[in-house]
Chain A
Amino acid sequence: MLIDGKRTLSCLTLLATLEDKHVLTIEGVATGDQLHPLQQAFIDHDALQCGYCTPGQILSGIACIEEGRATDAASVRDWMSGNLCRCGAYPNIVAAILETAGKQ
């Protein structure tokens, strides 16, 4: 999830510490029916298989782009290495993030 725009692990965050903070989860990424460009890019590049890590990948990817780290494949790989994917969608995740970053 993003806390005040920064990617953070929900499993290590106590809710009580989040007073007055802005929290974004996958449910809030799209605007109505309009998908966020990275969500659409994940579909287009097949950047998911079982889908279980996908919310984390997308939020982390949004932050990665925001942080200015989505400059090339090597940088994305490094800055997305905290999001494990057991199905192995990694190359397609890189493609989705680079495409989205390139459009901005």
Chain B
Amino acid sequence: MEMTDAPSMIGRPLARLDGRAKVTGAARYAAEFAPPGMLHGFLVDATVATGRVAALDARTALASPGVHAVIWHGNAPRLPWNEPVSPEFTRPDGARLRAFADDRVRFVGQPIAVVVADTIEQAHFAASLINVTYAEQRDPVVDFTEASAAATLRRDDTTARGDPDAAFAASDAQVDCSTVIARETHSPLESHVTIAHWQQGKLRLWDKSQWVSNVARVLAGDFGLEPGDVEVISPYVGGAFGSGGRVWPHTEIAAIAARELDRPVKIELTRRQMFNLVGHRPYTEQRVRLGANSDGLLTAILHDGAAETSRHERFSEGLLRPTRMLYGCADVATSYIVVPRDTSTPTYMRAPGEASGLFALETAMDELAWQLRLDPVELRLRNDPTHDLHSNLPFSSRSLAACLRQGAETFGWSKRRLEPGSWIEDGEQVGYGVAVATYPANYVRASARVRLSANGSATVESATSDMGPGTYTSLAQVAADALGLPVEAIAVEIGRSALPNTPPHGGSMTMASVGSAVLAACNAVKQKLAQITGTEHAPAKLVPAPEDSLVEQLRRAGLAQIEADGHSNPGDTAKRFSMHAFGAVFVEVRVDRELGLVRIPRIHGAYGVGRVVNPRLTRSQCTGGMIGGVGMALFEASELDRASGRVINADLAEYLIPTQADIGELTVAFVEETDPHVNPLGVKGVGEIAVCGAAPAIANAVWHATGKRLRDLPIRLEALLERRM
């Protein structure tokens, strides 16, 4: 950033613009809309995992007070189920579940009927009165090992360079590390919900979604409508973390029910349903083999991943992506299989793939460091590559070494002794752990519209969402900066499918993609104005005099407002550069070994993420991600009943996420990083990388404290109670 320029709005730690709405209860989430005449739907879940619905007796339910209808495949309308005009790429390969289109049961919890009533209580009660007869059931395959018999290889993720097997065999040091990560569930505090309302053949949805543009296209395809005939509204999203990335059946069921009854219908999932119907981070088993020479240079990396999917869809994610590019190693192989279980389909969950893959890789790196008696930070520094050996491209920017060095310095890493289990304070074992974080700097096509008014205000419009990172605020900062207006003068409108099209609000791509589109729209506004005022070729001053401001020019031109669309334009950047964010996470743990208790008094993360538009909000996102990592490391596991495939602990009293009392001091630092290639704003996004390093750093710290290497997540107390190391 040029320091001599006008004080930039970008980089300022402004308070969240939607803060007031959120602290007063004025922010309206999808479930809070109530079109007149709205009815409530309650989903009837399959209680078996396989077979088909042979009969459904709804007579008692229909006679129950307040009930309007029971809809199931036996009486549901046949829909066209056309594919959307542009692909829903958050949907995996396979045959998506089409609500009530057939009688097949694919997983426990699959919606097989909906009861629609005047109140949610009436609908819920009536749902319990429905008798379902199932046929052609077989024992579901739930056990992962058993399910592995039907695994399929993901060819795109199965790669090799050099001769890793031979290189591994010839290595001075070898590590062979197998890890398991439990299934995790996003568990946003807001339940998923859809309100569907038909008017004159057009459909309006209030929907909890991270991608309203897509919901409109998918629903239009389902019902055979023009994309413009479906409007999706989602102004505030109460967390989602990936669960709102694709269209789930309850949304289509709400639309079906609303059309059948010609009344608005709302369907809100129960917490239990949230564990089956909106995806999860897949259970994974991984094996990492690392070879190194005695100088601590990696000579071979072999990373094999296996992850669960459903029987009807083949979900995969970026599990092995970090392994292929993170370290300077010539001989690298990765392989990836997906394993179908008779359960629901996984989906992207914050740092999908990377968080899991890095746990395996960074645990193995820690083991290698000890085998070589090398400091784990030093081992990583020695293997920092000059370029991406997988794509053979230069990095657009890469600050991993700076993150490791600066992070170690801030954290006080030098206090750490090399030997594990050697440090006791106040009766507790103390351990320090480190792990590397990385996530691709995604930059894709997005659109925005900017309208500048002669009254000195401007409006930014884009279909994107704000599920918490602060999109409302950061987009306003981009526009304020580009238009030379105070941030308060910018109104941001997002979360409506009628607004300019955007990619999913996820994958750490919103600021890069939508932010760049806003910048482009602002530039288009300026250009349009310059054409009108004939100042196109006038040299731009760094700080325009007040009388030369855009608003003044607009007034002088006698225009009330001027509007332009802008688009981010990724072009071929990804073909010329390897673009990733990097970070290093440092953790201190204290372990009460006798009772198996782990505390995490502090975590420090150092990140190189390009330009930071709003440090205050970005810090929040990073510490939030670390907390997600604490959950992954110590608490989170959706447990499946082996006999039936039901999620056993499907509520937030038993599916444990971190509480306030589990979190200590969290600090964040951003290393100075200027990336002129990655996108016009020079930002890389932090939503995912913030989750990435925390879990392996915690597990590595637990090893350092206790000498006990725990490779399965979550780390629970019984694992530490065992005496054997």
Contacts and interface: CB of A to CB of B under 8 A. Distances in A.
Interface of A: 25-27, 29-30, 35, 39-40, 42-44, 46, 48-55, 58, 76-78, 80-94
B19 A88 contact: no
Which residue, A30, A46, A80, A89, has most C-beta atoms of chain B within 10 A? A46
Given A43-B20, A46-B616, A50-B467, 10 more contacts: A25-B25, A43-B15, A46-B619, A48-B19, A48-B23, A51-B468, A86-B657, A88-B623, A88-B628, A92-B623
Contact of B625 (A43, A44, A88, A93): A88
B18 A51 contact: yes
Nearest to B27: A51
A58 to B, nearest CB: 6
Which of A25, A49, A78 has the largest count of B CB atoms less than 10 A from its CB?
A: A49
Nearest to B237: A50
Interface of B: 15-16, 18-25, 27, 29, 186-190, 236-241, 467-470, 616-617, 619-621, 623-628, 652, 657-661, 663, 665-666
A78 B627 CA distance: 16
A63 to B, nearest CB: 14
B660 A83 contact: yes
Contacts of B623: 88, 90-92
Contacts, number: 121
B624 A88 contact: yes
A42 B16 CA distance: 10
Contacts of B468: 49-51, 87
A27 B25 contact: yes
Contacts of B29: 52
Contacts of A83: 660
B212 to A, nearest CB: 16
A40 B15 CA distance: 11
A48 B20 contact: no
Contacts of B652: 84
Contacts of B616: 46
A31 B15 CA distance: 21
Contact of A54 (B23, B237, B621, B628): B23
Given A77-B663, A88-B627, A90-B663, A42 B19 contact: yes
B660 A81 contact: yes
Given A81-B660, A94-B660, A49 B25 contact: no
A6 B22 CA distance: 22
Which 7 A-B pairs rank lowest in CB-CB distance, beginning with the nearest?
A52-B238, A88-B627, A88-B624, A49-B468, A51-B22, A50-B468, A26-B25
A81 B133 CA distance: 44
Contacts of A44: 15
A51 B660 contact: no
A83 B658 CA distance: 10
Which of A48, A53, A83, A94 has the largest count of B CB atoms less than 10 A from its CB? Answer: A48
B241 A91 contact: no
B297 to A, nearest CB: 37
A85 B627 CA distance: 10
Nearest to A39: B23
B188 A86 contact: yes
Contacts of B619: 46
Contacts of A39: 23-24
B189 A84 contact: yes
Contacts of A54: 22-23
Chain A CB within 10 Å — which of B467, B617, B619, B661 has the most? Answer: B661
Nearest to B19: A43
Contacts of A90: 623, 627, 658, 660, 663
A84 B16 contact: no
A30 B189 contact: no
Among B16, B18, B186, B187, the one with the most A-chain Cβ atoms within 10 Å of its Cβ is B16
Contacts of B627: 88, 90
9 contacts: A26-B25, A51-B18, A51-B236, A55-B25, A83-B660, A88-B625, A90-B627, A91-B666, A94-B660
B611 to A, nearest CB: 19
Contact of B16 (A29, A46, A76, A82): A46
Contacts of B22: 48, 51, 54
A81 B658 CA distance: 9
Nearest to B21: A51
A73 B187 CA distance: 26
Nearest to A49: B468
Contacts of A85: 189, 660
B23 A35 contact: yes
Given A49-B468, A50-B188, A84-B189, A43 B660 contact: no
A19 B587 CA distance: 50
Contacts of A30: 24
A81 B189 CA distance: 15
Contacts of A86: 186-189, 239, 241, 657
B661 A81 contact: yes
Contacts of B186: 86
Contacts of A82: 659
Contacts of A76: 660
A52 B663 contact: no
A54 to B, nearest CB: 5
A37 to B, nearest CB: 11
B280 to A, nearest CB: 14
A13 to B, nearest CB: 15
Nearest to A29: B24
B660 A77 contact: yes
Contacts of A78: 660-661
Nearest to B617: A46
A56 to B, nearest CB: 9
Nearest to B17: A43
